[in-house]
Amino acid sequence: MTSGRELHFGYNVLGAGMHPGAWRTPYAEPFGSLDPRQWLQVAAIAERGTLDAVFLADGLALGRDIGRLPHRPPFDPIVLLSYLAGRTERIGLIPTVSTSFEEPYNLARRIASLDHLSHGRAAWNVVTSHDAAAAKNFGAGELAGRQERYERAEEFVDVVVKLWDSWDDDALIGDAGSGRFADAARIRPVDHHGTHFDVTGPLNVHRPPQGRPVIFQAGGSPAGLELAARTADAVFCALASLPYARAFADDLRGRAARHGRPADSIRIMPGLSFVLGGTEEEARRRHDELNELAGENRLARLAGQLGVDVDVLDWDRPLPGWLLETADPSTRGSQGAREVVLDLARRERLTARQILDRVITWHRLFIGTPEQMADDIQEWFESGAVDGFNVMPDVNPSGIEAFVDHVVPLLRARGLFRSEYRGTTLREHLGLPRLERSAALS
Amino acid sequence: MTSGRELHFGYNVLGAGMHPGAWRTPYAEPFGSLDPRQWLQVAAIAERGTLDAVFLADGLALGRDIGRLPHRPPFDPIVLLSYLAGRTERIGLIPTVSTSFEEPYNLARRIASLDHLSHGRAAWNVVTSHDAAAAKNFGAGELAGRQERYERAEEFVDVVVKLWDSWDDDALIGDAGSGRFADAARIRPVDHHGTHFDVTGPLNVHRPPQGRPVIFQAGGSPAGLELAARTADAVFCALASLPYARAFADDLRGRAARHGRPADSIRIMPGLSFVLGGTEEEARRRHDELNELAGENRLARLAGQLGVDVDVLDWDRPLPGWLLETADPSTRGSQGAREVVLDLARRERLTARQILDRVITWHRLFIGTPEQMADDIQEWFESGAVDGFNVMPDVNPSGIEAFVDHVVPLLRARGLFRSEYRGTTLREHLGLPRLERSAALS
């Protein structure tokens, strides 16, 4: 291991795969992402690769492109990962759940339940939702602005952590002889009375195996980074270039330090989409085929991400100067996602086609051989800017299989990645401490 | 089968078991109900017995008796049943979820997801919550009154059904050649704008395998019965005597008829707790031992159910006359549960001890041999008042094992219960039709 550090990998499944052409390829089933058996298959592959976790992104409205693209995820992430918990042994389970349309008591309870059933493999990826269509499934109003969403998120996370902490580790007694089941004095109300939430508690689930299940945070705006710096164990972020990644890591670690947290307390795990081939040409050919199948869907997605009409973009011209210079036009949409692409476009004056050769949606795209990908991962890791990646195969299951069978062995041989799980919990996989909570300490 | 009818059984696990002494017995592990392996074990036993479904009751606050009794369920029902979905093949999965502290979009999505992952085995047991402590985990206010809770529940169920219906059965195309993934015209917004909810839809999960997952309803007040009569496929109710059961069935079927539904459209499945023994004496001895272990917990639970202090009750005197005649004192608490016990006490002038020999909490208690239990079940079934039972073993896993190994074979031999699953979905197990929804029909 490089100075004791080790790589960490989430596997962001994204249904049929990251590439919008994925479902149409000859090496995928069109309805594969809707088939429980494929989910079992890809989870098993990831576990064979000793990856840290399966990660599920989320959205709370059906996409407008359902005529052309599979909905993703096709199932509620907590339900799907609870299902997979019963069919996997060691791999972590990270559902994304928005703080904007849930109650903290329900969320804390579900993640705690998943942590118990999986013997300590649960996490929660915190997002605030930036999709106006989602808001319309939860009331008549508009989506709240970013500031309000993050204020609610900050309080939401606090309530969830308080609920997870409401039972001491040693609250359970289980003495059949005396009839004492638990020590009620070691189970405390949370009595939270805040701006957005009033929650008396305690939680009706006992202390989770991990103490606190792992908290991921996935917002890239300054408000999102502040939330991560204060509360998260790990971030899932979009970092399209190494200079951008270094600046991001410095920013996040500086914020964490200002919250009194050690510099290494947050695992930085950007998305990394990839197209692998036995040779670079083979990989490029696979990418070209996928692009052919995706057609105009790619440009439409880029336009959506940038908050402009698709007509504004031209495949073979640099992005218009006014767009490069325009500050985020709204408080909705993903600010982090937009900035990632604009930063890349500004640095290198890229055309839309060139951008889409470097990112899928807003995540960095690697195209090449397993050897090249291992080099790339090692370079980023050794820069110190990242602790690993949330890998996003172009197509499932073939992409994750190629990663596990051809990239992971190289990283193992280089001493950068585990060959077997050493711990049983996600906290252990991620090298995060477990916070004890007991009468002896309080 | 008796005139084509067949028995239906849910298995209401209730953690350690229905009896408050359960966790302390020598034939149970004190922490068995917190152990995922025991949940796998009892689900496997129930499936071996070809029961229709595993049923999970719910509550949204930690009980005050945690010092003496295990919390139940110890895990969120949807999470737990999603976990079990991956480890069972045919048995139905019925989570209870309250309409008072959830959003219909989230609920519809989770049950639809569970239906997909289980290949058509999901249900939803609708409750409105009658626990004031639950309300304090979801805001500063008091629990809403019964009328308001049921108004919300009525609209909640309607929205959920609309969301399940928002995709036609044949909306998916999956034509890789043309790139048509779905026929967007067969996926419609629900555009619900009501008193409690505004939901645009459509759902972001495709049409569930059952079309509409099964709806159970478990409220026993007139408002609860109205909700069931209009919307439910099955009811989980508390019927402590056969005369009461007949009156209940007539009432419910009459209400269903007034909503234009066929008389046999709702499966009536009251709770049936039981203590089995090889002889009647053995069963009584087991019950006595359990009572000894439960101590005063039983009387305290009865008092709580009746909405009075425990001092009001005396083990060996009839309930006071004023209590028998007092109408439900509040709009909170479970009206149905209270009335079940008072009806029994009134009919037979029972002491508290006698009541607790006939019901556990508010569900009928059977004590005897497998042969006697089979007779009892047959008598109730053939009366026409019920379609089966939600069985509630005294202790897990030994109670469910005794039922499956010794009562089920008798019912099979009498031609009253299936020997193997004939269908794959819960609707099929329950003999309920699947509602088609396709372009050809609309």
The minimal CB distance from B74 to the residues A67, A119, A206 is found for: A206
Question: Which residues neighbour A332 within 8 Å (Cβ) at sequence distance 6 or greater?
Answer: A130, A132, A143, A145, A146
CA distance B388 to B31: 30
Q: Give residue B254's pLDDT.
A: 96
CATH number of B8-275+364-430: 3.20.20.30
Task: Work out the average pLDDT over B272-283.
Answer: 98
Residues 21-80 of A with CB under 8 A from B: 23-26, 30-31, 34, 36, 40, 59-63, 66-71, 74-76, 78-80
Chain A contact present for B106, CB below 8 A:
yes
The minimal CB distance from B67 to the residues A85, A103, A180 is found for: A180
Judged by CB atoms closer than 8 Å, whether chains meet at B110 and A76 is answered as yes
pLDDT mean across residues, chain A: 94
pLDDT in tens, A231-247: 999 999 999 899 999 99
B439: pLDDT confidence band, cut at 50, 70 and 90? low
A33, A72 Cβ separation under 8 angstroms:
yes
Q: Give residue B2's pLDDT.
A: 43
Judged by CB atoms closer than 8 Å, whether chains meet at B176 and A25 is answered as yes
CA distance A210 to A216: 14
Task: Tell me the three state secondary structure of residue B189.
Answer: coil
Strand (E) or helix (H) holding B105: helix B104-117
Q: How far is CA A195 from CA A154, A308, B139, B315, in A?
A: 11, 35, 11, 48
Residues 410-429 of A with CB under 8 A from B: none
Q: Which of A296, A24, A295, A66 is nearest to B175 (CA)?
A: A24
pLDDT in tens, A407-428: 999 999 999 999 999 999 999 9
Q: Give residue A314's pLDDT.
A: 93
- One DSSP character per residue, B22-67 reads GGGSTTS-TTGGG-HHHHHHHHHHHHHTT-SEEEE---SS--TTTT
Alpha helices in B165-210 (DSSP H): none
pLDDT at B256 over 50: yes
> What predicted TM-score, i.e. pTM, was given to this entire model?
0.96
Residue A116: both structure tokens together: 């118990």
Q: Give residue A2's pLDDT.
A: 43
Q: Which residues of B122-147 are buried (b: 16+ CB within 10 A; e: fewer)?
A: bbbbbbbbbbebbbbbbeeeebbebe
**Environment class of A295 (CB within 10 Å of its CB; exposed 0-12, middle 13-18, buried 19+):** middle
Strands B8-12 and B388-393: parallel
Strand (E) or helix (H) holding A236: none
**Environment class of A184 (CB within 10 Å of its CB; exposed 0-12, middle 13-18, buried 19+):** middle
Q: What is the dihedral of CA B92, A71, A79, B112, to 10 degrees?
A: -30
Which value, in Å, is the radius of gyration of the alpha carbons in chain B? 22
pLDDT at A158 over 60: yes
pLDDT at A164 over 50: yes
CA distance B134 to A285: 58
The minimal CB distance from A87 to the residues B86, B179, B203 is found for: B86
CB pairs under 8 A between A and B: 209
Question: Which residues neighbour A165 within 8 Å (Cβ) at sequence distance 6 or greater?
Answer: A190, A212, A437
DSSP-assigned beta bridge partners for residue B274: B366, B393
Strand (E) or helix (H) holding B198: strand B198-199
Beta strands in A328-434 (DSSP E): 359-360, 363-368, 388-393
Residue A100: both structure tokens together: 């904007």
DSSP classification of residue B320: P
Residue A260: both structure tokens together: 């009194």
Chain B contact present for A138, CB below 8 A:
yes
**Residue A417 to chain B, least CA–CA distance (Å):** 30
pLDDT mean across residues, chain B: 94
- Domain limits, chain A: 8-275+366-429
Nearest CA in chain B to A142: B198
Given the cut 0.85, state whether the ipTM is greater than it. yes
Q: Domain A8-275+366-429: what homologous superfamily? A: Luciferase-like domain (3.20.20.30)
pLDDT in tens, B54-97: 999 999 999 999 999 999 999 999 999 999 999 999 999 999 99
Residues 219-278 of B with CB under 8 A from A: none
Residue A251 C-beta-side C-alpha neighbours within 13 Å:
18
Residue type, A82: S
Edge-to-edge strand list for the sheet holding A234-235: A267-268, A234-235, A214-217, A123-127, A92-98, A53-56, A8-12, A388-393, A271-276, A363-368, A359-360
The sign of the torsion formed by the CA atoms of B434, B80, A131, B182 equals negative
The more confidently predicted of residues A6 and A219 is A6
CA distance A283 to B162: 45
CA distance A74 to A58: 9
* Percent share of chain B, pLDDT over 70: 97
pLDDT in tens, A75-107: 999 999 999 999 999 999 999 999 999 999 999
Task: Work out the average pLDDT over A325-346.
Answer: 77
CA distance B33 to B144: 31
pLDDT at B151 over 70: yes
pLDDT in tens, A356-367: 999 987 899 999
* Percent share of chain A, pLDDT over 90: 81
Strands A271-276 and A363-368: parallel
